[in-house]
Amino acid sequence: MSLVGKQAPDFTVQGFYNGEIKEFNLSDYQGKWVYLLFYPLDFTFVCPTEVLAFSKMAEEFRSRGCEILGVSIDSQFVHKAWVEAELEDGGLGGSLNFPLLADVNKQLSSDYDVLLEGAGVALRGLFLINPEGVVVQNTTNFLPVGRSAKEALRLLKAFQFVAEHGDQVCPAEWDEGEDTMTGSSEGMREYLSTHN
């Protein structure tokens, strides 16, 4: 069941960020854009490549009013160990530019419908939540293939553009500064006649 177009399930969980273990609530981010970045496990293979890619771009997301929250079934203590471990030891090298949330009871993964039951881990789910708390985009990958932080940023820009310009829609491959179209048959015809 897709959550797109629905209110994002709220949560209260422990997490690790900036050297601290503390509580995180989705409701604390009301009024901001949020990316929930589910991944299977700390200290694994594809996961650090994704988490580090999003960390490198976290300030760009933040400059657009969007916070990133990483989520796995690992505890806040395992998150701390992973962040602090050296890269050559499978860690994240000492710092991360967004929090890692602990879904140890797997409720969060279940609520967002990314829990892989047999394996007991989350699929690679990525959820974009708008400032009103509605899920506007979701991508879910199976375990062996990571996601693109650059594509996530492009999607954020597109959804922010549409939120600001209500009568405009973004065509495939749209990025900031490119032409959009009016969300109508006439707008579509005009766009296709000038862009193909």
24 found inside a domain: yes
Residue 136: inside a domain, yes or no?
yes
Q: What does the pLDDT read at residue 13?
A: 98
pLDDT, one tens digit per residue, over 131-140 is 999 999 999 9
**pLDDT of amino acid 21:** 98
Per-residue pLDDT at 196 exceeds 90:
no
For tokens 């922010």, name the residue: 160
Residue 112 forms part of a structural domain? yes
The answer to whether residue 113 sits within a structural domain is: yes
State which residues form the domain around 45: 12-146
User: Is 156 contained in some domain?
Assistant: no
DSSP conformation letters of 133-175: SBEEEEEEE-TT----HHHHHHHHHHHHHHHHSTTEE--TT--
The pLDDT assigned to 1 comes to 77
Which of 47, 51, 143, 153 is labelled catalytic? 47
Instruction: For residue 42, tell me if it sits in a domain.
Output: yes
Catalytic status, residue 47: yes
Q: Is 113 within 8 Å of 58 (Cβ atoms)?
A: no
Q: Domain total for the chain? A: 1
Nearest CA among 52, 17, 58 for reference residue 34: 58
Tell me the per-residue pLDDT of 77-119, one tens digit each, with 9 for 90 and over.
Answer: 999 999 999 999 999 999 999 999 999 999 999 999 999 999 9
CA distances from 143 to 54, 92, 102 (A): 17, 19, 19
Report the CATH number that the domain containing residue 134 is assigned in CATH: 3.40.30.10
d(CA 170, CA 181): 7
Give per-residue pLDDT as tens, 23-79: 999 999 999 999 999 999 999 999 999 999 999 999 999 999 999 999 999 999 999
DSSP code string of 111-129: HTT-EETTTTEE-EEEEEE
Q: Is residue 69 part of a domain?
A: yes
Residue 193 lies in a domain: no
> What pLDDT score does 166 carry?
87
Residue 96: the pLDDT is 97
